[in-house]
Amino acid sequence: MSKKIRIHLADDHQVLIDGMRFLLNTVPDFEVVGFSLDGNNLFEEVIANETDILIIDISMPKKDGIEVLKEFKQKGFPCKVIVLSSYDELKLIKEVMKLGSNGYLTKKCAGDNIVEAVYAVLNGEDYFCKSVREKIFDTAVKDNPKLNKYETVENSILSGREIEVITLISLEFSGKEISEKLFISTNTVETHRKNIMKKLNLKNTISLVKYAIKNNIIKS
């Protein structure tokens, strides 16, 4: 039997914790090994129960999610972290990702996305629910005259995130700039770029830009 993914929940609402525990425990690979109603002793708790993934709210008594992330960053991250919050302000999302969070979901989309988020983050990916990801992307390319409307782009080969990355590459943003605009690491940008090139069987960036133009992702 393969090792289960050990998950710890931190939120000041017991009802939400109970709902998340029920949902996550329906997945055979997952085991909810603990929960906290505040952030006071989270660092010690996730170490004690050998947590793989911490799912944490921002607003908590005694020590909030931001303070917990700062503590983790200072002491060294004992596990992966997904922020689950009622807020979707870009400034806040950028702050938690810079502090080392591996994912960000709003509570509205948690039920649909949390399982996918856990698998993605455990696999070394940064994860945002669709509404947050699109908000970040729309801000990154706002008023760019070379951009075709994002919502009209459909592609059976590339994921939504990969379309965003190919768009920004085609608009001549550097890997560092893409990283900053999408709130992901430069390593993640490079991984997406390599995956795109492999999926589309492209040899270089020029071929990638030609693909973007041909498929109406950007204007020529």
pLDDT on residue 56: 94
CATH fold of the domain at 141-214: Arc Repressor Mutant, subunit A (1.10.10)
Handedness of CA 7, 8, 9, 14 (dihedral sign): positive
CA distances from 6 to 9, 138, 167 (A): 10, 34, 36
CA distances from 112 to 5, 107, 135 (A): 19, 10, 18
Please check the confidence at residue 130 and state whether its pLDDT lies above 80.
yes
- Where helices occur in the chain by DSSP H, the ranges are 14-24, 42-48, 65-75, 90-98, 110-122, 130-140, 160-170, 175-182, 186-200, 205-214
More confident residue, 219 or 127: 127
Decide whether 5-129 matches 141-214 in CATH topology: no
Please check the confidence at residue 5 and state whether its pLDDT lies above 50.
yes
Share of the chain above pLDDT 70, in %: 92
Token digits for 158? 């590339």
First to last CA, the chain: 53
Non-local (6+) Cβ contacts of 134 within 8 A are 150, 160
Cα torsion for 215, 121, 182, 113, to the nearest 10°? 70
For the segment(s) 5-129, the CATH number from 3.40.50.2300, 3.40.250.10, 3.20.20.80, 3.40.470.10 is 3.40.50.2300
pLDDT tens figures, 139-152: 877 766 666 554 44
Query: How many whole angstroms separate alpha carbon 60 and alpha carbon 37?
Result: 7
pLDDT on residue 183: 87
pLDDT tens figures, 43-91: 999 999 999 999 999 988 888 999 999 999 999 999 999 999 888 888 8
pLDDT tens figures, 155-203: 678 888 888 888 888 888 888 898 888 888 888 888 888 888 889 888 8
User: Facing residues of 104 across strands?
Assistant: 83, 128
Mean pLDDT, range 14-34, rounded to an integer? 92
Q: Which of 213, 192, 46, 59 is nearest to 120 (CA)?
A: 192
pLDDT on residue 150: 47
More confident residue, 218 or 167: 167
Burial state string for 48-75 with b = 16 or more CB within 10 A and e = fewer than 16: eeebbbbbbbbebeebbbbbbbeebeee
Contact 31, 7 (CB under 8 A): yes
- All structural domains of the chain with their residue ranges: 5-129, 141-214
